[in-house]
Amino acid sequence: MGTLKGFPTPPAMVRRRQSRRTPHATRIFMTACVLMGVTPASAGPLDDPHVGSLGFSGPTTGDLTAVYWNPAALGMLQGNQFMFGASLRATRVTVDRAPIDPMTGLPGGTRGFPSASGHGFEQPIAWPPGPGGFLGVGAGVARRFALALATYTPFSQKLSFDVATPTRYHLVSVDSRQLALVSGLAIELTDSLQVGVAPGLLFSYGHLVFDEDTAIDNPSTAGVEDPDAAARYDLATAGTQAPSYFVVGGIHFRRAAWEAGLAYASAPLGTGGMVKLAMERSQVTPPATATTPDLCSLVGHSPCVSGEMSYRLPDLFTAGVTWHATRHLDAVGIVRWIRYGSYDQIKIRVVGPSSDRLLGSSLPDQLTLYRGFQDSWDMRVRLVHAPLPWFRWSGTLRMETSAVPEANVNAAAVDGFKLEPALAVEFTLGRHLRIGAGYALTWMFPVTVGTSAFNPAAATACAAAAGDLSLPACQTRLAGQARPTAAGSYKMLQQTLALMTTLGF
Amino acid sequence: MFEYDSRPIDLQRAPSAPGGSALGATLARVKVGSDTPLFVVDTGSLLSSLRRGVCPTTTPEPVAYQGDIELLGAWGSQVPLRASFRGVTLFDLCAGAVGDADTQAAGVLGGDILRNFSLAFALPRDPAQPATMTIYSDLPAADSDLAADGYAVVKFNLRGSTAAATASGNGRPGLPSSRVVMRACGNPPAFAPNGPVAACKTGEVEVQAAGTNLLLALSTGHGPLVLSASAWQRLGGDAPAPLPGESALYSPLVANPIPAHWVTVSRLALVDGDSGDLWPGACAELARVRRIEWTLANQDSGACFQPCDVSGGVALPAAAYLEIGSDLHAAIISDTSDLIISLNEDFPSGAQVDGVIGTEALAGVPIEIDYITQPQGRLVAACDPGVDRQKCWAAPRCLGLSGAGQTHACFGLPPLGFAPACPN
């Protein structure tokens, strides 16, 4: 059986291309228009579940997205291949905070809050490069080897609330991206077994805005969550940062109608998974009650605050099985174990002008933002049907467990059990070109946080005890949990629209 | 292993000298069973120690062990746990008296542990105010950003590493370099930017230097400035031997009181600069920085850069420096004293450490000792707002301009444009 030049030998999806029938341009155009008409959206807390394409890629798929999913599957590449994918993702988060006691800040009182809505729209055409993009080039070499070079964004988060939102003490806005530049190598050890490795660089960018309640240690003076006592921390990198290093490795096994793949993607290496971002374009705005309204006024330049933000990224395991049920139909199962447990907190240090000394005295210069994530499981089942030589489609149902325990959910970390149906289509144009599109709707089961991990009373108690770290209240503060409560209900809806183009030559 | 919250830890101060005000060594408390004895926080000590039990009358071979330090705040009636250092190497030593004979400490938190952090110290001039130490994991700001924000960044090398030893069968572990050693200019003349011009022709940069180059260890376990007798003589002093009735110096680095002669040093400048062969030395560098500042301050009157401060028609960068004064309390001790010998134990043939900068000398100067930044650590300093220049002056590094159209803001002056070099 001949193969399409540049495409892997294969599954049902590709098997019918040999007829080289050109699809009807009008049908393609109409399909694209329908898909584009849907408001795009999506996203887990950090991780992009659809790197490269939506609906076809996985650890047993022999295209360039294998540098992410399973580099061993690159071994199925034949000839040369170029691939471009772009996802548009939109996220809508709704937060309804529970009323609090105006004296203590604890849930259960009479002070209510308006509903807050957060929005995020991610697209790859941005600088620094945005999330949802995939660009790759690769080639099969001498039958037993395959090489590839690709760039994609494995982790990203973008969400923005209104400036005066009741979520301000946890999040006003965030734009975080990790851009990977990866080279991949696969070796065919036997006719049925391949191994692959893809070492890469991870370029990070971050912009985080939140408020700090400067009266939280002593709420009797200014009241709980008094906007006049809120200092704003607006922390941003100056472009992407010097890269950290990571590696993806995997194996791929094929026998009869079955294929199986297993891959591991490391967290940043040599740092215990830690990413450190120099926040060179940062601002700290003192609260309205401060005598100095602008930290930078005395030094005559802005921004005048620099700092660093650090956090740990997860590593992840991916496993997948494909059963080529018929010549036209594949059944696929994919499981990802995302080890979010390491993403426990974000640490921030800022340094400001020497002249006023607000930072480090009345404004904290070292902050810990508690995240307290847990490992998450992403499971999906997929059917891929290729009814025509130039056309295939897929239907996927994805389920993902929450990366954030219920008590730890807050505006900056909204997650729960998610269901995501997705549809994708792909057309083959001529001998060399494939164009695909996919759409996914991610629905998170609403999360109601009754007992929040965040406890403002701990800040008060710890301050009264002169910061005694032997006390639970100060341990709570040390962990970054002595912040305004995040009790309330959280809803999230995400949509993703993806377009993929593959050129074989 | 380490637990701290990067918020200020209140510290007591030992007397700077017997009968002196409480502006000396920084003291926390440490939890030992149900007791909370005083504990010296000393950046000048190469090792950390905590005595297990009562102090013996003789001085036995020190024994190292793995232990915990539960560091407590030491101000007012509360003694909150403020930091823990678990599983660290400690020496079973009695730290002894610090500042005066009555201030006894149970141990020392030394550089071997402190070098894992960036430490901010606030050392008020008023002994009624607590000193504070804040422990940070690092100082994530570039030299240029710190300079733009008004900080003097003075880089330092760590010294004092010792090899492991097995004397008397005890497995004494080796110690890393952790003593902060800085280049300084002692007794430089007073300077005012509206004073007379200091001329300096090409090649005269070292000739025009004033003051005495010193190499000093920064020690928060000492109060006064401590100088060896030879260093004091280089500063122009005489009669370095202790006079009858003078108080001894109580140092946490040595077991016994050190006979001392007490003097005042008019001022001291810690100057940033490398120690390479081409570096003219701290005093020459300080003189150059002052000439550059004088030129900038008088630029509107047609001032020009001195030929020895120019390269290729462009002023050389002005190094950062921290100048402290006036009339610093100083203890002059013998070159053969245990303290001076121990400061130079690691480099018997290298540059000699002349003494110690104590906390009294740094009163009113908020500092951060950044051990983490590589390849050199950084002392980041700024003066308290409103302090007289003769008492404290922190000058960030000032980069020269390469041509017209550029501006720079240095020495607290408004942004200024390019100034020419004077004819040689």
Query: What would the pLDDT profile of A359-372 be if each residue is shown by its tens digit?
Result: 888 899 999 999 99
- Give the lowest-confidence range in A223-237, B197-211, B257-271, B362-376: B197-211
Q: Is the pLDDT of residue A36 over 80?
A: no
CB contact under 8 A, A478 and B10: no
Distance from the Cα of residue B241 to its chain's centroid: 25
CB contact under 8 A, A353 and B149: yes
- Which chain A residue has its CA at the smallest distance from B77's CA? A466
CB contact under 8 A, B82 and A477: no
Contacts of B141 in chain A (CB under 8 A): 306-307, 351
Contacts of B4 in chain A (CB under 8 A): 469
Using DSSP bridges, classify how beta strands B26-30 and B38-41 pair: parallel, antiparallel or unpaired: antiparallel
Domain assignment of residue B104, given as a range: 2-395
CB contact under 8 A, A360 and B120: yes
Q: Is the pLDDT of residue A7 over 60?
A: no
Contacts of B394 in chain A (CB under 8 A): 354
Q: Is the pLDDT of residue A431 over 90?
A: no
A467: nearest CB among B5, B150, B382 = B5
Span A14-32, mean pLDDT? 39
B33-53 residue pLDDT tens: 888 999 999 999 999 999 887
Span A436-444, mean pLDDT? 96
pLDDT given for residue B350 in this prediction: 64
A385-399 residue pLDDT tens: 999 999 999 999 999
CB contact under 8 A, A307 and B141: yes
What tokens appear for B164 in the block? 């492991």
CB contact under 8 A, A354 and B394: yes
B403 lies in some domain: no
Q: Which range is most confident: A40-54, A173-187, B334-348?
A: A173-187
Q: Closest Cα to residue A235, out of A373, A90, A117, A347?
A: A347
pLDDT given for residue B59 in this prediction: 62
Average pLDDT, chain B: 89
B140 lies in some domain: yes
pLDDT given for residue A6 in this prediction: 42
Burial class (CB in 10 A: 0-12, 13-18, 19+), A361: exposed
- A15 neighbors A89 (Cβ within 8 angstroms): no
Using DSSP bridges, classify how beta strands B314-315 and B321-333 pair: parallel, antiparallel or unpaired: unpaired
Percentage of chain A surpassing pLDDT 90? 71
Q: Closest Cα to residue A158, out of A134, A133, A131?
A: A131
SS3 B275: coil
Mutate to test the interface with A, among B6, B36, B322, B411 (most CBs of A within 10 A): B6
Rg for chain A, CA atoms, rounded: 25
CB contact under 8 A, A306 and B145: yes
Contacts of B145 in chain A (CB under 8 A): 280, 306, 351
Give the distance from residue B405's alpha carbon to the nearest chain A alpha carbon, in angstroms: 18
Q: Is the pLDDT of residue A5 over 50?
A: no
A165-222 residue pLDDT tens: 899 999 999 999 999 999 999 999 998 999 999 999 999 999 999 999 998 888 766 6
B61 lies in some domain: yes
- A242 neighbors A210 (Cβ within 8 angstroms): no
Q: Closest Cα to residue A368, out of B260, B137, B114, B380?
A: B137
pLDDT given for residue B275 in this prediction: 60
- Give the lowest-confidence range in A151-165, A361-375, B7-21, B236-250: B236-250
Residues 13-72 of B with CB under 8 A from A: none
CB contact under 8 A, B409 and A469: no
A278: nearest CB among B78, B134, B140 = B140
A478: nearest CB among B5, B140, B148 = B5
- Which chain B residue has its CA at the smallest distance from A309's CA? B140
CB contact under 8 A, A466 and B7: no
A60: left (phi over 0), alpha (psi -120 to 50) or beta: alpha
pLDDT given for residue A68 in this prediction: 96
- Which chain B residue has its CA at the smallest distance from A366's CA? B6
Q: Is the pLDDT of residue B348 over 80?
A: no
Q: What is the interface size between A and B, counted as CB pairs within 8 Å? A: 86
Give the distance from residue A370's alpha carbon to the nearest chain B alpha carbon, in angstroms: 14
B424 lies in some domain: no
B80: nearest CB among A280, A306, A467 = A467
Within 8 A by CB and 6+ apart from A306, the residues are A278, A279, A280, A282, A350, A351, B140, B141, B142, B145, B149
Average pLDDT, chain A: 88
pLDDT given for residue B165 in this prediction: 66
Give dist(CA B40, CA B28) in Å, integer.
6
CB contact under 8 A, B136 and A349: yes
Contacts of B7 in chain A (CB under 8 A): 364, 366, 467
Q: Is the pLDDT of residue A223 over 90?
A: no
* Number of domains chain B is built from: 1
Contacts of B139 in chain A (CB under 8 A): 349, 351
Q: First-to-last CA distance in chain A?
A: 18
Q: Tell me the pTM.
A: 0.89
What tokens appear for A437 in the block? 């599109």
Contacts of A351 in chain B (CB under 8 A): 139-141, 145-146, 149
B382-403 residue pLDDT tens: 998 888 999 999 999 998 887 7
A466: nearest CB among B78, B134, B415 = B78
pLDDT given for residue A44 in this prediction: 45
Give dist(CA B38, CA B19) in Å, integer.
19
Residues 63-102 of B with CB under 8 A from A: 73, 76, 78, 80-84
- Give the lowest-confidence range in A10-19, A47-56, A205-214, B59-68: A10-19
Q: Closest Cα to residue B11, out of B102, B70, B72?
A: B72
* Helix-then-strand count for chain A, H and E: 6, 21
Q: A-side interface with B, Cβ within 8 Å? A: 276, 278, 280, 299-301, 304, 306-308, 347, 349, 351-357, 360, 364-366, 465-470, 474, 477-478
CB contact under 8 A, A308 and B10: no
Q: Closest Cα to residue A264, out of A274, A254, A251, A253?
A: A251
SS3 A175: strand
B412 lies in some domain: no
Q: How confident is the model at residue B284 (pLDDT cuts 50, 70, 90)?
A: very high
Mutate to test the interface with A, among B30, B84, B149, B378 (most CBs of A within 10 A): B149
Q: Closest Cα to residue B308, out of B402, B183, B198?
A: B198
Q: How many CB atoms lie within 10 A of CB B424?
A: 10
Give the distance from residue A239's alpha carbon to the nearest chain B alpha carbon, in angstroms: 16
A468: nearest CB among B3, B81, B151 = B81
CB contact under 8 A, A469 and B394: no
What tokens appear for B220 in the block? 């928060």
- Within A273-415, residue ranges assigned H as helices are none
Residue-range domains of chain A with CATH: 12-504 (2.40.160.60)
B126-185 residue pLDDT tens: 999 999 999 999 999 999 999 999 999 999 989 888 777 655 555 667 888 999 999 999
CB contact under 8 A, B140 and A465: no
What tokens appear for B46 in the block? 């190469």
pLDDT given for residue A222 in this prediction: 61
B388 lies in some domain: yes
B411 lies in some domain: no
Q: Which residue has the higher pLDDT, A210 or A47?
A: A210
Q: Is the pLDDT of residue A504 over 60?
A: yes
- B36 neighbors B121 (Cβ within 8 angstroms): no
CB contact under 8 A, B138 and A349: yes
Mutate to test the interface with B, among A214, A295, A351, A481 (most CBs of B within 10 A): A351
Mutate to test the interface with B, among A214, A279, A469 (most CBs of B within 10 A): A469
A98-149 residue pLDDT tens: 999 988 899 998 899 999 999 999 988 877 777 889 999 999 988 889 999 9
B80: nearest CB among A354, A365, A465 = A465
B56 lies in some domain: yes
B296-334 residue pLDDT tens: 999 989 999 999 999 888 889 999 999 998 889 999 999
